[in-house]
Amino acid sequence: MSTTTDSKVRIQLEDFSVTDEIEAMKKVSRNIGGITTFLGTGREMSKGENITKLNFEHYPKMAEKKLEEIRVQSIKDFGIIDMSIIHRIGPIDIGENIVLIVAVGEHRAETFKACEWAIAELKRTTPIWKRETTSTGEVWVQDTP
């Protein structure tokens, strides 16, 4: 598990600075004309239930590998300059950052497409699991909208 901002793919316990991550990606190329971000945060309601606590677990090494595959595929398929993906694990409070994807490219269109595809693919294929604690107990979240 890496906590340095040098890595383009990280899974970490610690929070991250969206501003710092965007600034780091801006240094990748002087040809960047568009930056698209996706920031996922902890919400307090899910399926009509009040969430009191979130916890994320992952399959070490495999999750990092999958995120790197998503990053590389995004660059290849959408023609972006680069992408970074950060996902937190462990306990997350309501309102805290969970996941950040930053796509940078020459133009906005490809960065929007790459970012949207990357978060959908992350949720579909990456072995990171969310457990929500509600007033009725703990639930492992299966479906991801």
Residue 143's pLDDT is: 62
Domain ranges for the chain: 9-140
Calpha distance 59→40 (Å, rounded): 20
Higher confidence at residue 141 or residue 61? 61
**Higher local confidence (pLDDT), 129 or 144:** 129
**Residue 2's pLDDT is what?**
39
Indicate the pLDDT class of residue 7, thresholds 50, 70 and 90.
Answer: confident
Question: What are the strands, taking DSSP E only, across 1-145?
Answer: 9-12, 34-41, 45-46, 49-58, 82-88, 90-92, 97-105, 128-134, 137-140
- Greater confidence (142 vs 6) lies with 142
Matching CATH number, 9-140, of 1.10.1370.10, 2.60.40.420, 3.40.50.720, 3.90.1170.40: 3.90.1170.40
pLDDT digits 0-9 by tens, 68-103? 999 999 999 999 999 999 999 999 999 999 999 999
* pLDDT tens digits along 96-140: 999 999 999 999 999 999 999 999 999 999 999 999 998 888 888
Q: Per-residue pLDDT for 34 more than 50?
A: yes
Instruction: Look at residue 5 in the predicted model and tell me its pLDDT.
Output: 45
C-alpha 79: how far from chain center: 20
Q: Which amino acid is at 58?
A: H
